[in-house]
Structure 1
Amino acid sequence: MDTKKIRLSVLDQSPIRKGATAEQAVKETIELAKYTEQLGYTRYWVSEHHNTGILAGSTPEVLIAYLASQTQRMRIGSGGIMMPNHSTLKVAENFRMLEALFPGRIDLGMGRAPGTDRITASVLNPSNQFREDDFVEQLTDLNNYFHDTYEPGTVQAKIRAIPQVKTVPDKWLLSSSGQSGLFAAHFGMGFSFAHFINPSGGPLNVKLYRERFQPSDDLAQPEVNVAIFVFCSEDEEKIKQHQAVMDHRFLQFEKGGPIVPLSYDDVKDEVYTPSDLERIRQNRYRVITGTPMEIKKKLTWLAEDYDVDEIMAVTITENFDDRLKSYELLAKQFEL
């Protein structure tokens, strides 16, 4: 694959670094969006997470509005809106308003997970039953709201998503499994596979999406990207320390303990059990780290494996300057 044809994008969860505040995390999201646009990145997605002390991104629709106002060309979107937490009409209205403000630049990336624990999810939406059929119904309703295509005479036809605008956001389904890929194919939406969550089965799920894709009014051909944790540095010691922190962070999450910001000093003397080491080995497939030349090779292999021309990099670092530098080095390697 010609690396010049690989597009790079950003998935930003607004991570809160150790010793930093949520306000700082949000300011860093704004600075990173501006910087990656200058570097030539294709799109910038912000996430929805709730009831966590390590990620500040809870309301992507609010962040998108500000980020789009601070940038000029890069597509800005959600990665993603967790649909079971929301009224479909309200999602449609939020993104119609964003389209009114920034026509042709907005991506609506959607997921079916709550982006939090079940208790918090039940508070966000007390009627959420976590049923697959409900998610499919939301996708159907969303299309009808965006295109005003409810059947005349039905109750739903009396409801319009306001403001009435001519353009619609690009719609993507985000998933770490194949089911949402099949939904994306059925509805004619883009598909983003979360390799950073599940490093297994992604290429097959992308292949099935392509094979079963049905063109829609919004998307004539299948469109796919893959999201993965990435860290690039010219300093081998920083790479080693970054991997050690990521190893521990994944275990922290899997064991269900307190999820808190970490530094290398917190984990450098950690002693792991054999089962921990096996989980670390498996989780390392979720991350690509290395020097610029190593990263170029690894990401190119990933793109070839998935048969995609766009990679979304998720980068979380102890030091914000290292985060900026990682995205800069990636951009240089892929000649954005």
Structure 2
Amino acid sequence: MQNLKIMKLSVLDQSPVRKGCTAEQAVQETVELAKYTDELGYHRFWVSEHHNTSSLAGSTPEVLIAHLAGQTKQIRLGSGGVMMPNHSTLKVAENFRMLEAIFPGRIDLGMGRAPGTDRLTASVLNPSNQFSEQDFLEQMIDLQHYFHDTAQHGTIQAKIKAIPQVKTVPEMWLLSSSGQSGLFAAHFGMGFSFAHFINPIGGPQSVKMYRERFKPSQDLTSPEANVALFVFCSDDEEKIFQHQAVMDHRFIQFEKGGGLSPLGYDDVKDATYTITEQERIKYNRQRVITGTPDIIKDKLSRLANEYDVNELIAVTIAENFEDRLRSYKFLSDSFLIKN
């Protein structure tokens, strides 16, 4: 069984917009959550990039990270992630070099290959986006050159310096819900974060393959992996039941192509589902870990063992902000996390 005393717990926050609340409130709740989990001893706090949705307010992680790092003391701050197809590689390098200049040794650059939105919005964010795997690979190569000023003489990259030029480099992670990015992370010597909250199948195998094929880099000498998943912990069984009902409906809503809108239990308590939808609910429940503190400790420990990791990243969306805070408190108490 995993040694719980060395388990690292971290946070991925998407700035969810609760029903009846504004986007401004959602962002402020992210700030309060970062400060709270910093006090609790969480290891890192990542914020996401999503576009063209009314249910998530997190669109620009590089901006939010700067504010959160200034509001906290020791927790690592990072992106979960920057969606690279939407951005110029040079601009990403300069954003995160600036963050390193202000908060050296506390910044993570988590990156994804997906746009974090629909194709139409992605085409507006970056009109030259070809959704090409080769383009993504070239971005990874260029990014490492920009951070280390190692571009080959005679290339365009060698003529351009990412400023400010600082001595430290953010931790670089590739985020994925498939094994492909794990192979990229292994090749480039980056950390690998598997998004179990998106895809609950095949994760342990992807992490294992990443470890087996890992090539040490200037930034990371041995493989480092973690797993992100939806988590909700409460000492109130009824709240756990209601939370699961809302999450069930959110997944079905999204899969029907209707996007996501803020929901409460009253909106879904009388919902009925087709046989096909019931099968999807059964599948999607694998993405979510819920329970009372004693139960959730066992569930998360088993999952960590399956993945062979010592860091879990909790994504918690709750109808009530106080319940969100309490869930993270229960987790920290259960795993005795310390920095």
Shorter-normalised TM-score: what interval? over 0.9
User: Residue 26 of structure 1 aligns with which residue?
Assistant: 27
Is the 2:53–2:259 contact (alpha carbons within 8 Å) kept by the matching residues of 1? no
Tell me how far 1:153 sits from its aligned partner.
2.3
Tell me how far 1:154 sits from its aligned partner.
2.2
User: Structure 1: how far apart are the matches of 2:272 and 2:28?
Assistant: 35
User: Residue 161 of structure 1 aligns with which residue?
Assistant: 162
Deviations 1:259-281 (CA, angstroms, capped at 9, x unpaired): 21000000000011000100000
Deviations 1:194-232 (CA, angstroms, capped at 9, x unpaired): 000000000000000000000000000100000000000
User: Residue 314 of structure 1 aligns with which residue?
Assistant: 315
User: Structure 2: how far apart are the matches of 1:76 and 1:97?
Assistant: 13
User: Residue 125 of structure 1 aligns with which residue?
Assistant: 126
User: Structure 2: how far apart are the matches of 1:27 and 1:8?
Assistant: 22
User: Structure 1: how far apart are the matches of 2:155 and 2:36?
Assistant: 48
User: Structure 2: how far apart are the matches of 1:325 and 1:125?
Assistant: 39
User: Structure 1: how far apart are the matches of 2:17 and 2:168?
Assistant: 35
User: Structure 2: how far apart are the matches of 1:242 and 1:325?
Assistant: 14
SS at match of 1:69: helix
User: Residue 53 of structure 1 aligns with which residue?
Assistant: 54
Deviations 1:52-108 (CA, angstroms, capped at 9, x unpaired): 000000000000000000111110000000000000000000000000000000000
The more displaced of 262-271 and 154-163 is 154-163
User: Structure 1: how far apart are the matches of 2:197 and 2:259?
Assistant: 21
User: Residue 331 of structure 2 aligns with which residue?
Assistant: 330
Deviation above 3 Å: which 4+ runs of structure 1? none
In the TM superposition, what are the counterparts of 1:1-336 in structure 2 within 5 Å? 1-336=2-337
Is the 2:146–2:157 contact (alpha carbons within 8 Å) kept by the matching residues of 1? no
Tell me how far 1:320 sits from its aligned partner.
0.0
User: Counterpart of 1:251 in structure 2: which amino acid?
Assistant: I
Deviations 1:114-163 (CA, angstroms, capped at 9, x unpaired): 00000000000000000100000000000000000011222221100010
User: Structure 2: how far apart are the matches of 1:149 and 1:281?
Assistant: 49
TM-score by length of structure 1 reads: 0.99
| Cα RMSD (Å) | 0.5
User: Counterpart of 2:171 in structure 1: which amino acid?
Assistant: D
User: Structure 2: how far apart are the matches of 1:55 and 1:258?
Assistant: 11
TM-score by length of structure 2 reads: 0.99
Tell me how far 1:258 sits from its aligned partner.
4.2
> Can you give the 5+ residue segments of structure 1 that lack an aligned partner in the other structure?
none
SS at match of 1:225: strand
Deviations 1:24-50 (CA, angstroms, capped at 9, x unpaired): 000000000000011110000000000
User: Structure 2: how far apart are the matches of 1:299 and 1:4?
Assistant: 13
Is the 2:172–2:190 contact (alpha carbons within 8 Å) kept by the matching residues of 1? yes
SS at match of 1:8: strand
Q: Percent identity?
A: 75
> Can you give the 5+ residue segments of structure 2 that lack an aligned partner in the other structure?
none
User: Structure 1: how far apart are the matches of 2:93 and 2:22?
Assistant: 32
SS at match of 1:280: helix
User: Counterpart of 2:178 in structure 1: which amino acid?
Assistant: S
User: Structure 2: how far apart are the matches of 1:155 and 1:138?
Assistant: 13
